[in-house]
Structure 1
Amino acid sequence: MKIVPYPHPALRTKAEPVKAIDKDLHLLVGRMFELMYEHEGLGLAAPQVAQGVQVLVMNFTGSSKNPDTECVAINPVILESKGSVEDREGCLSFPGLFQRVRRAKQVKVQAYNLKGELYEMTCSDLIARIWQHEIDHLNGMLFIDKMSMLAKLAAKPEIEAFKADFDKALRKGDYPPGIAPKF
């Protein structure tokens, strides 16, 4: 399992709700945390590892040395959002690309944990941004979709390079046959 780069089609596919919390889901979550830390991320959504289920892993400090700040979200939803703030954002499926993106300043979210318990969290600033970014992944939405026109223009050469690299990987056979991104 690896983090898939843009424009892998899994990144544009709407994830299905999790119906059962089983051993396979626990293994998926464990591997997602490993990949997130390996790539120095704050969050990772299942579609980013080509898994079409509504699962997120996050650590708001980004450090595996702080497991008490780890968060698993199964079938998460944003219940409320307030305010608006623009800040710098990146994504593990777009390594090295950072642009300013406008998001809600505060969100109230609801999700299930790995024990199947429903929980709610109200958060703001960076933590709210992480939640919104990762939940967008579950809906096939990417941070490049949220960029301003100016940010999109600035990022265009990098986005084109991601497309070219992915096309090269397809031709090399790094992905199964039949995977073709929709631009």
Structure 2
Amino acid sequence: MKIVKYPHPALRQKAQPVTAITAEVRQVAARMLELMYEHEGLGLAAPQVALPWQLIVLNFSADPEDKENEFVAINPVILESKGSVVGREGCLSFPGLYQNVRRAKTVKVQAYNLQGEPYEMLCHDLPARVWQHEIDHLHGILFIDRMGSLGRERSARELEQFVAEFEEEKRKGLLPADLAPRL
């Protein structure tokens, strides 16, 4: 399992609800947490590892020792959002790219944990931003889609480089040659 980079088509695929919490789901969640920590992320969504599942992992402190801030969320939804704030955002599928993105300041989310128990969480600021970013991934929405026109313009060179690297990986046989990116 590895994190796929833009413009891999899995990033634009809408994820399907998880219908049963199996040993495979638990193993995938554990591996996703490992990958998230290896890459110093705050969250990771299943489409980022090319799985079409509504599954995300998060840790608002990015510290693997801080289990209090670590969450696995199955079939998460945003129930409410309030306010608006602009903040700097990045993504593990866009290494090195950061831009300002407008998000809700506060969100109330609902999800299931690995025991199949529902939970709700009211978050503000950075945790709210992480939830929104990762839930967007489940709908094929990327943070570049949330950038303003100036952010997109400032990111154009990096985005072109990601596309070029994707095409080079296909040419080298590291990705299937028929894998067409969805920009």
TM over 0.5: yes
The Cα RMSD (Å) is: 0.7
Structure 1 unaligned residues grouped into runs of 5+: none
Equivalent residue for 1:129? 129
State the shift of 1:100 in Å.
0.2
Equivalent residue for 2:142? 142
Equivalent residue for 1:89? 89
Report matched runs for 1:37-48 at 5 Å. Answer: 37-48=37-48
State the shift of 1:65 in Å.
1.4
SS of match in other structure, 2:130: helix
Instruction: List per-residue Cα deviations over 1:26-79 (Å, max 9, x = no partner).
Output: 000000000000000000000000000000000010011112211010000000
Equivalent residue for 2:71? 71
Report matched runs for 1:94-109 at 5 Å. Answer: 94-109=94-109
Matches of 2:67 and 2:9, distance apart in 1:
31
Equivalent residue for 2:112? 112
Under a length normalisation based on structure 1, what TM-score does the superposition of the two structures give?
Answer: 0.99
Equivalent residue for 2:30? 30
Q: Percent identity?
A: 63
State the shift of 1:170 in Å.
0.9
Matches of 2:123 and 2:68, distance apart in 1:
17
Structure 2 unaligned residues grouped into runs of 5+: none
Which of structure 1's runs of 4+ aligned residues deviate more than 3 A? none
Equivalent residue for 1:18? 18
State the shift of 1:177 in Å.
4.0
Matches of 2:60 and 2:53, distance apart in 1:
22
| Contact preservation (8 Å) 2:100, 2:147 | yes
Matches of 1:175 and 1:15, distance apart in 2:
21
SS of match in other structure, 1:79: strand
Matches of 1:7 and 1:32, distance apart in 2:
20
The one-letter code matched in structure 1 to 2:37 is: Y
Matches of 2:177 and 2:151, distance apart in 1:
33
Matches of 2:176 and 2:19, distance apart in 1:
27
Equivalent residue for 2:161? 161
The one-letter code matched in structure 2 to 1:13 is: Q
| Contact preservation (8 Å) 2:101, 2:143 | yes
Under a length normalisation based on structure 2, what TM-score does the superposition of the two structures give?
Answer: 0.99
State the shift of 1:182 in Å.
2.1
The one-letter code matched in structure 2 to 1:151 is: G
Matches of 1:178 and 1:33, distance apart in 2:
30
SS of match in other structure, 1:174: coil
Moved more, 63-72 or 35-44: 63-72
Equivalent residue for 1:53? 53
Question: How many residues are treated as equivalent by the alignment?
Answer: 183
